[in-house]
Amino acid sequence: MDNWYEGTQGLDPTGSIGVFDSGVGGLTVLRALQAQLPRESFLYLADTARLPYGTRSRSEILQYVREILTWMQHRGIKMAVMACNTSSALALEQVRHEFPFPILGLIEPAAQAAVTIGQRIGIIATPATVKSGTYVRVLQECSPHVAIAQVACPEFVPLIESNCLSGERVRRSVRQALAPLIEFGLDTLVYGCTHYPHLRHIIADYLPSSVHHLDPATTVAHSTAHALKALSLQTVAHQGHVHFYVSGAPEQFARLASQWLGYYPRTQHLPLSVLSQSYSVEITLPTVPAVVAS
């Protein structure tokens, strides 16, 4: 096992798996996790008050991630999944050494899968993820001879979070983003942001049918299942559940999320003040406000 699995003794198998993202993008990961692990329970946090993550600095992302994981630790999670490529790129290696539970990211599982599929790999991601170079580094570690091209797509997340999933504005943005990858001659497309699969119906229109589409949500779900088994953290429950929290507007998140979840999620507001206070070990975690969207 990798060393980030160390120090996990005493974790409760009945605890939830923490999953977080800047918004609805992480729902693609949550759905894959639920399909793979129907008995597990999840704690999902959408940090919409600080959306988008993809244009933030490394220091900002690291602070956000530390706050979120500390709050989740107070909630008794047994494992965390970063349903956010930007967080995975900029903060994962650091925080893995700071918390007493396993933390999984998206990039390593996706890269390992991508090099088994194709040799000319295109990546669409946020500006922060592209700038970090993490995908390129991990892909080259997996296969030194693979050819890689990546494109930053800063418009995609704001479009998706505003429920703009069709129309000429979206098509123009997708067309412009994919143009250099088509010229590159990709055979595999990695969705380097968990929001982006929500635009797959349009993205597919502009790519040759021979191109493989790789959603890291599926690969991280398999990695999560493997880690739970390896650490004997699998639950004995018959059916899991999900608790949703949002740092921004719960009603807006719930309305948008219902399109992909198939139900209207019961969502609680988690103020940023609670997240920032929970990061200080001297401050007792305040009670989360009552449900405001259901």
Supply the residues annotated as catalytic.
84, 193
> Would you mind telling me the total number of residues written for the chain in this entry?
294
| Distance from C-alpha of 194 to C-alpha of 55, rounded to nearest angstrom | 15
- What's the CA angle centered on 150, arms 221 and 180, to 5 degrees? 130
CA distances from 237 to 9, 114, 149, 170 (A): 20, 33, 43, 42
Looking from the CA of 48 toward its CB, the CA atoms found within 13 Å total: 28
Locate 276 and state its tokens: 């920032």
Locate 72 and state its tokens: 């989740």
Locate 211 and state its tokens: 């191109």
| Distance from C-alpha of 112 to C-alpha of 184, rounded to nearest angstrom | 21
| Distance from C-alpha of 287 to C-alpha of 198, rounded to nearest angstrom | 34
CA distances from 10 to 13, 77, 95, 115, 268 (A): 9, 12, 19, 36, 29
Question: CB of 99 within 8 A of CB of 71?
Answer: no
| Distance from C-alpha of 86 to C-alpha of 193, rounded to nearest angstrom | 7
Question: CB of 114 within 8 A of CB of 149?
Answer: no
Question: CB of 247 within 8 A of CB of 64?
Answer: no
Give the SS3 label for residue 50.
Answer: helix
Question: CB of 161 within 8 A of CB of 48?
Answer: yes
